[in-house]
Amino acid sequence: MASEHHLIKIAAPQFGCPTTTCTPYDSTTSCWSSNIGGYDWQCNCTTHHSSRGTVSLTLLLPHGNIREPLNARFKFSLVDRECRPVLSRTRASSFQNWTTTQHRWEWTCDDIITKDDLEQPEYRLDDGSFTVRFDIALKPFAAKATDAFVTVPPSDLHQHLGNLLECKEGTDVTFQVAGGDMFPAHRCVLAARSPVFRAQLFGEMKESKQTAGGVIIEIEDVEAKVFGSLRFIYTDSLPEADEGVADEDDGPMVHYQHLLVAADRWIRGANQ
């Protein structure tokens, strides 16, 4: 974050109306300008010719000067002869974002100085003028987060793979388990999901045989109700505990124990 300050000397304001019968009015003059951070800043001083008599300061960026987004904070302070800020006559802004869509920008400190202030010798200089300190801090523009242009839906790949297994379309390998039950599957899906299947399907395939209908892999030591959980490889989800469990004597825990044995063989077995 970059910051700096400037001392602005302002000519003595002429309070009061030119005649005793005039209506109170305001008069504005440009009292300072400078290029800070690549922006052309300007300060206007407005004298309010009322019975009380006050001075307002306006900081502005002229038309077309906001070339890039800006984030800035400002402060005006009346100072004494030693250039020390007067806290009761200090006005500050918070950090604000200004974008290139704004053709003109300004910030006004209303009635920051009064006629009574300028009658005090510690504030008024010998020629009747007074000094204001201007502080500015600039930091990188903080753009507001916007919603994504396209909302990405959650993945439904597991649903598509599950449907592919159920419809048996494009199957190119069949597993024959104990009892003769057959389970058609897809070699590429199995090979991608299981290193054991990959070695078996694309290696020597010792337990397989080639027939006119394609590759058949015989697995004699796995029951059909356990191998039916082949769906997990496709969908990352297990069937309900009672699905595929034919024997009423087998509870869910027994079924899941068989699944663990199968998983140990087809997944962990690759690392042994």
Half-sphere exposure of 105 (CA within 13 A, CB side): 19
**Tens of pLDDT, residue by residue, the chain (272 residues):** 688 999 999 998 877 665 555 555 788 899 999 988 888 889 999 988 776 788 999 998 876 666 677 788 999 999 999 999 999 999 999 887 776 666 667 889 988 898 888 889 999 998 889 999 999 998 877 655 565 567 777 888 888 888 888 888 888 888 888 778 888 888 888 888 888 778 777 776 555 566 555 678 887 777 777 776 677 788 877 666 554 444 445 556 666 676 666 666 665 544 44
Classify 116 as helix, strand or coil. Answer: helix
The C-alpha angle 231, 234, 238, rounded to 5 degrees, equals 40
Cα 81 off chain centre by = 48
> Tokens 């507001």 map to which residue?
144
In order, the DSSP letters of 112-146 are EEEHHHHTSTTTS-TTS-EEEEEEEEEE---PPP-
CATH entry, 157-271, from 3.40.50.2300, 3.30.2130.10, 3.30.710.10, 1.10.10.10: 3.30.710.10
Across the strands, what pairs with 210? 215
Q: Is there a contact between 134 and 75 (Cβ–Cβ < 8 Å)?
A: yes
CATH number 1.20.140.10 is the correct assignment for the domain at 2-139? no
Identify whether the C-beta of residue 187 lies closer than 8 Å to the C-beta of residue 176. Answer: no
Segments making up each domain of the chain, as ranges: 2-139, 157-271
CB 238 within 8 A of CB 259: yes
- Global pTM? 0.49
